[in-house]
C-alpha cells in the first residue's frame, strides 16, 4: 500500500496552511515520530513543538537522489517515524525535471510501502504541470 499524498497548486493557494494543519493533527493523533521538512525556516512557530522540523537549506542536498538518501538516513536513525511532511519539494531539490520527479516518486512509493511511513508533499505547480505518473498522488 502506497502512502503518498501530494498537495498541488500555485504559490499562495493555501498548500502550506493545509500542510501545517495536517502536521499538527498527526502530532496529536499518531503514536510515532512526525517529521516536517522545509527548505527554509518559515514554519517554526506554526508547527507543534513535538514535530521534528528540519530545514534543508543548511545541507547541500544534491538533487532528488541526495534528498532520497537524506530521507533514508532519517529512517535509519529513527524507525518510529509514522509521517514525513515535505513542504515545497521543487524548492528543496532545486529541480522540477520530469524524469527526475518520476524516478523520485517510484523510489518513494517503494520506500513508503516497505516502511509504512506516510508522505505528504506540497508542490508549487498546477496539477496539469505534474508528470502523469505523479497525478495519482494528488489529493
Tell me the average pLDDT across 47-68. Answer: 92
Say what the pLDDT of residue 77 is.
95
Please answer whether residues 118 and 79 qualify as being in contact, where contact means their C-beta atoms are separated by less than 8 angstroms. Answer: no
Say what the pLDDT of residue 60 is.
85
Structural domains of the chain, count: 1
Closest residue by Cα to residue 34 from 80, 99, 76: 80
Say what the pLDDT of residue 2 is.
60
The separation between CA 81 and the C-alpha centre of its own chain, rounded to angstroms, equals 13
pTM metric for this prediction: 0.94
Q: Which domain holds residue 24?
A: 4-137
What CATH number has the domain bearing residue 46?
3.40.50.300
Amino acid at each position: 500500500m502506497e502512502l503518498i499524498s501530494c498537495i498541488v497548486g500555485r504559490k499562495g493557494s493555501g498548500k502550506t496552511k493545509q500542510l501545517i494543519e495536517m502536521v499538527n493533527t498527526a502530532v496529536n493523533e499518531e503514536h510515532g515520530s512526525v517529521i516536517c521538512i522545509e527548505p527554509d525556516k518559515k514554519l517554526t512557530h506554526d508547527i507543534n513543538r513535538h514535530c521534528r522540523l528540519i530545514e534543508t537549506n543548511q545541507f547541500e542536498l544534491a538533487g532528488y537522489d541526495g534528498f532520497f538518501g537524506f530521507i533514508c538516513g532519517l529512517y535509519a536513525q529513527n524507525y518510529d517515524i509514522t509521517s514525513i511532511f515535505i513542504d515545497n519539494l521543487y524548492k528543496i531539490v532545486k529541480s522540477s525535471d520530469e524524469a527526475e520527479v518520476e524516478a523520485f516518486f517510484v523510489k518513494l512509493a517503494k520506500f513508503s510501502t516497505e516502511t509504512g511511513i506516510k508522505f505528504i508533499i506540497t508542490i508549487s505547480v498546477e496539477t496539469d504541470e505534474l508528470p502523469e505518473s505523479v497525478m495519482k498522488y494528488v489529493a
